[in-house]
């Protein structure tokens, strides 16, 4: 009975198993999407293979397989290998995954996968593809398989870097690859030792492991020439270094001896170097030159000879110190090497010192020569030139190659003559400027000038420091009252007044000494802008003709603009109108150039003034002519000459329409009065007062003499022609007038021509 039950139970189990298997077979998958997507990328397997192989061959032909690009810090061949292995190995793993999902090898998708893999692995094996097994072979456990692949790929990377010339990095990657496989083999042994029964074979003896070892050996063989070459170079460098060390060890003893001799000579010449090492200038140049010459012929020669001998053996200072330091051993301490470095530097400086001192001395003598010429008083100028010539001759002894010194010495005679002529010319051209024209007070320029004259006469000692004494021959007020001293509350306690004083030391000579002074009131609270005076500061005097002082000659009467002060407010007003006339007339002439650069309000004003440009031109012309006549009358023809001429030119140019109309009227009048016009009656319908010349309405009577233009008509024609010529340059002429007008208003009181 029990036997029957057992048989029945077994039959039931077999039937259930068969049913389950049949059910499973009925729902077994024949397609796996991840594998399908991978195969979709290889619909054109041949095209993919061609694309990759063409790229490889192109790099190979160009010699760029082992180039390291900036965006991938490994050789190109390794990037290529990693790319194709990622794709093809992925196909192997997906095939295994499909089997795990229930697909059978005979399924259509699996057949396609095997065909694609066969093409890819066969075609890409020469270009870096490698896998330890085929697509249908049983896999290793995942970790072990990845270790095998990592070890091989590290070996490939080592080969790539070796071919790229970086054998140091290649050696590192090669060692890492070896470690991957050795660690894997060791791990397998440990698993067996621990009795882990799932590992039934030793990985180190597996065919896949042996295939990986074989592949790695192949890659090492490819890198062997470069690695061997690098090793030989390293060994040779080490040998060279050893030989150099031995050579320099012998050098140490000799260097020690040579250093001792060099230092002894250095100490022996130290005093001589110190003796010429001070500052040299024109003041000590004459006594310094013999010492410098002696140093160059004695101590300098010894230093040069010793330094040449040392550097011929050990190189220049930096090279010698570096060489001895690297292999110094116990022969030299760091302190001794530092001291040697300082001695070599000091000796080189000692050799360069004479040239520097000679150059400095020559330049100092040249500066002093120029200074004596430039700062000499007029009376001492020729003496200054003689002293400068001696200084320059001494400078040529210090530095015969100094071109500036030679040029100055060669031309000093002519310079002295020219300076003497220029001084005489200045004396002749200088004029007495007189009082400022617009003194604001308090006090009048005449009263203040007289008070200054009285003070300087009574206290002549205040001018002795500029070698002036006696009674001033003339005094001119040249500035406004200004504050000289203030207290802590910022209140003025002393006022000053700028003036020009003139002295005539010798009445038999036509020479006056003029000094610009600031005369000051008392220094006290609530001080007034008025005498009495207390002190004076004065500038070095200059010379002019005494005959040009007020009261001595008509030439001393002064010019128009602030010369003697006699013009007063009228002079100031005329000065202001001349500047404004230039600015306005010039702006009208150059309106098209200035329009874009001016504010809208000024542009509008210029636009409104354009219809009146002829009248404004007439005003500018009259102002320029009046100022020029007054300057000539005051015997100061250069005073304000440039703005006067610009006012005449731009005014004449703006008046061209008026002049043209006047010429037409004058010609009509002259024609109407001619005998020919009187002999012919007006034509029918023509008016005798039509304003047209009779010659335009009828033919001249036979034998009638033509009318001769009068002087006024000729003058008008000349002015109109000049105005037409000036109109061709009206824009630059206008700009010049504006500029001269502004300069006249700003600094015209300082410069004669403005």
Backbone φ and ψ of 501, nearest 5°: -120, 145
Backbone φ and ψ of 199, nearest 5°: -95, 100
Q: What is the average pLDDT across 136-148? A: 83
For 614-648, write each residue's pLDDT tens digit: 888 889 888 888 888 887 775 567 777 888 888 99
Rounded to whole angstroms, the Cα distance separating 391 from 554 reads 46
| β strands within 478-526, DSSP E | 482-486, 492-503, 512-521
Rounded to whole angstroms, the Cα distance separating 156 from 84 reads 14
What is the CB neighbour count within 10 angstroms for residue 455? 19
Q: What is the pLDDT of residue 688?
A: 32
Give the residue with greater pLDDT, 187 vs 185.
185
Which residues does 659 contact at the CB level (< 8 Å), separation at least 6? 716, 719, 720, 723
State yes or no: pLDDT of 236 exceeds 60: yes
Q: What is the pLDDT of residue 251?
A: 66
Q: What is the pLDDT of residue 475?
A: 93
Rounded to whole angstroms, the Cα distance separating 399 from 357 reads 9
Contact status, residue 249 vs residue 327, Cβ threshold 8 Å: yes
Backbone φ and ψ of 405, nearest 5°: -65, -45
Give the residue with greater pLDDT, 186 vs 69.
69
Structure tokens, 199: 């590992």
Whether pTM > 0.75 for this model: the answer is: no
Mean pLDDT of the chain: 79
User: Of 316-320, 427-431, 739-743, where does mean pLDDT reach its minimum?
Assistant: 316-320
Q: What is the pLDDT of residue 573?
A: 80
Contact status, residue 314 vs residue 298, Cβ threshold 8 Å: no
Which residues does 251 contact at the CB level (< 8 Å), separation at least 6? 314, 323, 324, 327
- Which segment, 253-262, 438-447, 506-515, 677-686, is predicted with the most confidence on average? 438-447
Q: Which of 325, 290, 296, 320 is nearest to 308 (CA)?
A: 320
DSSP state of 681: P
Q: What is the pLDDT of residue 318?
A: 65
Rounded to whole angstroms, the Cα distance separating 6 from 41 reads 56
Q: What is the pLDDT of residue 416?
A: 78
Contact status, residue 173 vs residue 154, Cβ threshold 8 Å: yes
Rounded to whole angstroms, the Cα distance separating 687 from 421 reads 73
Helix (H, G, I), strand (E, B) or coil at 466: helix
E strand or H helix that includes residue 743: helix 730-747
Q: What is the pLDDT of residue 496?
A: 93
Q: What string of DSSP letters covers 582-646? A: HHHHHHHHTHHHHGGGS-HHHHHHHHHHGGGHHHHHHHHHHHHHHHHHHHHHTT-TTTTHHHHHH
Backbone φ and ψ of 77, nearest 5°: -60, -30
Q: What is the pLDDT of residue 444?
A: 92
Q: What is the pLDDT of residue 106?
A: 92
Structure tokens, 359: 């150059």
Which residues does 729 contact at the CB level (< 8 Å), separation at least 6? none
E strand or H helix that includes residue 542: strand 542-544
For 425-456, write each residue's pLDDT tens digit: 888 888 999 999 899 989 999 999 999 999 99
Structure tokens, 169: 């990095």
Give the residue with greater pLDDT, 177 vs 5.
177
Q: What is the pLDDT of residue 362?
A: 87
Rounded to whole angstroms, the Cα distance separating 388 from 452 reads 40
Rounded to whole angstroms, the Cα distance separating 453 from 472 reads 6
CA atoms within 13 A on the CB side of 190: 6
The partner residues of 477 in beta bridges, in order of sequence, read: 499
Q: What string of DSSP letters covers 102-117? A: T--TTSHHHHHHHHHH
User: Of 57-66, 384-393, 454-463, 660-669, where does mean pLDDT reach its minimum?
Assistant: 660-669
Q: What is the average pLDDT across 109-117? A: 92
Radius of gyration of the chain (CA): 56
Q: Which of 358, 369, 353, 390 is nearest to 289 (CA)?
A: 358
- Which segment, 127-131, 308-312, 411-415, 451-455, is predicted with the most confidence on average? 451-455
What is the CB neighbour count within 10 angstroms for residue 666? 18
Q: Can you say whether residue 434 is alpha, beta or left, with left for phi > 0 and alpha for psi between -120 and 50 degrees?
A: left
Rounded to whole angstroms, the Cα distance separating 715 from 320 reads 93
For 77-90, write each residue's pLDDT tens digit: 889 888 889 989 99
User: Of 237-251, 340-354, 426-440, 495-509, where does mean pLDDT reach its minimum?
Assistant: 237-251
Task: List for the chain the helix, strand, coil content (%; round to 5).
Answer: 70, 5, 25
Given pLDDT bands bounded at 50, 70 and 90, which one contains residue 497? very high
């Amino acid at each position: 009975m029990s036997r029957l039950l057992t048989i029945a139970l077994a039959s039931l189990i077999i039937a259930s198993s068969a049913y389950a298997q049949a059910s499973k077979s009925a729902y077994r998958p024949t397609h796996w999407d991840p594998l399908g997507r991978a195969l979709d990328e290889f619909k054109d397997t041949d095209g993919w293979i061609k694309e990759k192989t063409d790229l490889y061959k192109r790099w190979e032909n160009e010699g760029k397989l082992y180039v390291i690009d900036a965006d991938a810090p490994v050789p190109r061949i390794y990037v290529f290998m990693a790319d194709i292995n990622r794709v093809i190995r992925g196909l192997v793993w997906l095939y295994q995954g499909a089997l795990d999902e229930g697909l059978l090898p005979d399924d259509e998708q699996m057949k396609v996968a095997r065909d694609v893999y066969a093409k890819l692995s066969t075609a890409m094996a020469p270009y870096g593809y490698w896998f330890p097994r085929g697509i249908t072979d049983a896999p290793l456990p995942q970790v072990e398989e990845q270790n095998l692949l990592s070890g091989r790929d590290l070996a490939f990377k080592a080969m790539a870097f070796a071919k790229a010339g970086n054998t140091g990095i290649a050696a590192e990657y090669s060692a890492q690859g070896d470690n991957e496989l050795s660690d894997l083999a060791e791990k397998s042994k440990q698993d067996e030792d621990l009795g882990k029964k799932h590992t039934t074979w030793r990985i180190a003896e597996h065919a896949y492991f042996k295939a990986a070892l074989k592949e790695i050996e192949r890659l090492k063989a490819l890198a062997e020439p470069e690695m061997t070459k690098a090793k030989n170079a390293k060994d040779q460098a080490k040998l060279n270094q050893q030989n150099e060390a031995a050579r320099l060890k012998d050098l140490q003893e000799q260097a020690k001896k040579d250093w001792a001799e060099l230092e002894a000579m250095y100490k022996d010449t130290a005093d001589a170097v110190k003796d010429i090492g001070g500052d040299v200038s024109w003041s000590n140049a004459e006594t310094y030159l013999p010492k410098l010459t002696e140093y160059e012929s004695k101590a300098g020669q010894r230093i040069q000879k010793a330094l040449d001998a040392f550097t011929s053996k050990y190189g220049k200072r930096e090279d010698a110190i570096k060489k001895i330091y690297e292999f110094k051993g116990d022969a030299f301490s760091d302190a001794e090497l530092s001291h040697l470095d300082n001695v070599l530097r000091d000796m080189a400086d000692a050799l360069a010192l004479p040239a520097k001192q000679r150059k400095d001395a020559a330049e100092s003598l040249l500066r002093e020569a120029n200074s004596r010429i430039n700062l000499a008083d007029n009376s001492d100028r020729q003496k200054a030139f003689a002293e400068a010539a001696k200084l320059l001759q001494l400078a040529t002894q210090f530095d015969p190659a100094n071109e500036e010194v030679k040029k100055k010495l060669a031309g000093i005679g002519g310079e002295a003559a020219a300076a003497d002529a220029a001084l005489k010319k200045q004396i002749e051209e200088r004029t007495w400027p007189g009082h400022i024209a617009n003194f604001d007070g308090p006090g009048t320029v005449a009263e203040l000038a007289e008070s200054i004259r009285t003070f300087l006469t009574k206290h002549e000692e205040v001018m002795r420091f500029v070698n002036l004494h006696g009674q001033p021959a003339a005094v001119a007020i040249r500035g406004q009252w200004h504050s000289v001293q203030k207290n802590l509350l910022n209140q003025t306690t002393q006022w000053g007044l700028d003036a020009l004083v003139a002295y005539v030391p010798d009445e038999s000579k036509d020479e006056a000494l003029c000094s610009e002074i600031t005369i000051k009131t008392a220094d006290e609270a609530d001080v007034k802008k008025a005498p009495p005076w207390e002190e004076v500061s004065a500038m070095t005097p200059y010379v002019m003709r005494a005959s040009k002082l007020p009261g001595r000659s008509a030439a001393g009467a002064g010019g128009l603009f602030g010369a003697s002060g006699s013009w007063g407010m009228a002079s100031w007003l005329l000065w202001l109108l001349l500047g404004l006339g230039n600015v306005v007339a010039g702006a009208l002439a150059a309106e098209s150039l200035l329009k874009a650069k001016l504010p809208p309000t000024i542009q509008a004003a210029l636009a409104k003034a354009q219809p009146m440009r002829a009248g404004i031109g007439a005003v500018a012309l009259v102002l320029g002519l009046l100022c020029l006549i007054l300057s000539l009358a005051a015997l100061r023809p250069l005073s304000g000459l440039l703005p006067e001429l610009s006012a005449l030119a731009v005014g004449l140019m703006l008046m061209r329409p008026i002049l043209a109309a006047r010429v037409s009227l004058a010609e009509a009048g002259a024609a109407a009065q001619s005998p020919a016009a009187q002999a012919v009656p007006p034509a029918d319908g023509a008016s005798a007062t039509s304003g047209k010349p009779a010659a335009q309405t009828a033919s001249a009577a036979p034998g009638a003499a033509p009318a001769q233009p009068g002087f006024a008509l000729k003058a008008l024609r000349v002015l109109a022609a000049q105005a037409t010529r000036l109109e061709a340059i009206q824009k630059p002429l206008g700009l010049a007038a504006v500029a001269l007008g502004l300069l006249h208003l700003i600094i015209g009181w300082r410069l004669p021509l403005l």
